[in-house]
Amino acid sequence: MHSNRLGCFTATGIIATLITLVVIIGFAFMNGSQMFSAGALNAQQGDIYGGVSSHAEITECSACHVPPIGADKMADRCADCHTDIAAQMLDVAKLHGTITQNNPNLSCRECHPEHRGATASLTDMGENTFPHEALGYSLEGHQLTVKREAFTCQDCHHEDVATFASDSCDSCHRQMDIAFAQAHALAFGTDCLACHDGVDIFGDNFTHTIFEFQLNGKHADVTCTKCHLDARTVADLQSAPQDCYSCHKDDDEHDGKYGQDCAVCHSPEGWEPANFNHDLSDFKLEGEHREAACEDCHKNDVFEGTPQ
């Protein structure tokens, strides 16, 4: 029995192999580079980097992918185009600098995957830790949802982590206390981030005692909107007047005759009793008049029209 020691390396085998290669090459040629593509690139338009305004405009795989043998990395190709991000990565005070400092071995594509389709998000942290504080909002007070489940990025950002879903605060806090959420939104608006940063002083333990203007006496029962009407930002809250007359000028029975410093005679405990300084009036109490009791001249608590 004759044995073929060449195996598949026969004339017939070689011809079959060549035909197969021709078919594969022809198919690849007719389909461009799609045959070897992992999927469509993102078509989101933005600033121009490397001569293109979206990844979908890139036609050469080598623009992003490096040869399997060599010192170059894909991150190097990213940095060649995204020079602004490359500069951030060298500054620990910037977002990408903070990320790389905490995760020195993290590559670009671990957070910015591609080939997932024209409309897929270009940012997906996956299991990687994101330094949320670097963007000015701490998650310290947002560990668990109202259902006592761990927060996910989608809870506040929905499908695109690069944007904040402005309705997420309201929808969540309405589940916690709908009456408070409605009243708070009406009084201070729905732009929660204008006043809150996750660790701010306006939380559950807020107290006015840390400010110069103390809420003593009758002031302790005043609602926030009485002094902070239509406040929409921290600057609005801080701009509230702290002098008596700005709030109480309509209550001034003296029509400004005794000046605008109400505290000279009145205290936060109430308008009465008042510690009236008679020297502010037209009739000064001099000599023995200083020893006279108020009721000696003001019979039956009548003050206006008293003879001078």
Over residues 156-172, the pLDDT tens digits come to: 888 777 788 878 898 89
What is the distance between the alpha carbons of residues 86 and 122, in angstroms, rounded to a whole number? 17
In this prediction, residue 30 carries a pLDDT of: 60
Count of residues making up the chain:
308
Banded pLDDT at 188 (limits 50, 70, 90): very high
Over residues 70-95, the pLDDT tens digits come to: 888 899 999 999 999 999 999 988 88
Banded pLDDT at 254 (limits 50, 70, 90): confident
Q: What are the residue boundaries of the structural domains of the chain, listed by start?
A: 55-133, 136-194, 278-308
Cβ atoms 106, 168 nearer than 8 A: no
What is the distance between the alpha carbons of residues 125 and 113, in angstroms, rounded to a whole number? 9
- Mean pLDDT of the region 129-145: 84
Share the mean pLDDT of the chain: 84
**pTM attached to this predicted model:** 0.58
Residue 53 has pLDDT above 90, yes or no: yes
Distances (CA, A) of 70 to 60, 63, 66, 73, 238: 19, 15, 8, 8, 59
Q: How far apart are the first and last CA of the chain?
A: 147
